Amino acid sequence: MEYVLFTLWLGYLAPWLVAEAREHEDRNRILLVNMLLGWTVVGWIGTFYWARSTPAHTDHRPVLRVIPGPVAPASAPGAGPTAALRSPLPPGARPAHLRRV
């Protein structure tokens, strides 16, 4: 009998367990709503759907990784932290794709 009650209790808490496993940001709110409204079929299905959803404010931008290139020795002329940012063109020159025709 204890196993049956334990299994039913796990089934009742399934939305919260899914939210915990997915590390959902609203997992505490999901637990609260599940405890208050989970006894209704609509409340349980709603919290389960909420637990499976992705929060709208999740940031899906790609992560930029900086891969360091070769570093010029400090004694080299023009070396420094901005040496790689300097243009290879002479001052005042424009790249071919930006020149006026």
Contact 72, 79 (CB under 8 A): yes
pLDDT at position 2, please?
Answer: 86
Cα separation, 44 vs 14, whole angstroms:
9
Domain boundaries, the chain: 15-52
pLDDT at position 86, please?
Answer: 64
Q: pLDDT of 2-52, one tens digit each? A: 889 999 998 999 999 999 988 888 889 999 999 999 889 999 999 999 999
Rounded alpha-carbon distances, angstroms, from residue 70 to 66, 84, 85, 89: 13, 10, 13, 21
What is the separation of C-alpha 88 from the centre of its chain, rounded to a whole number of angstroms? Answer: 37
At residue 1, the 3 state secondary structure works out as: coil
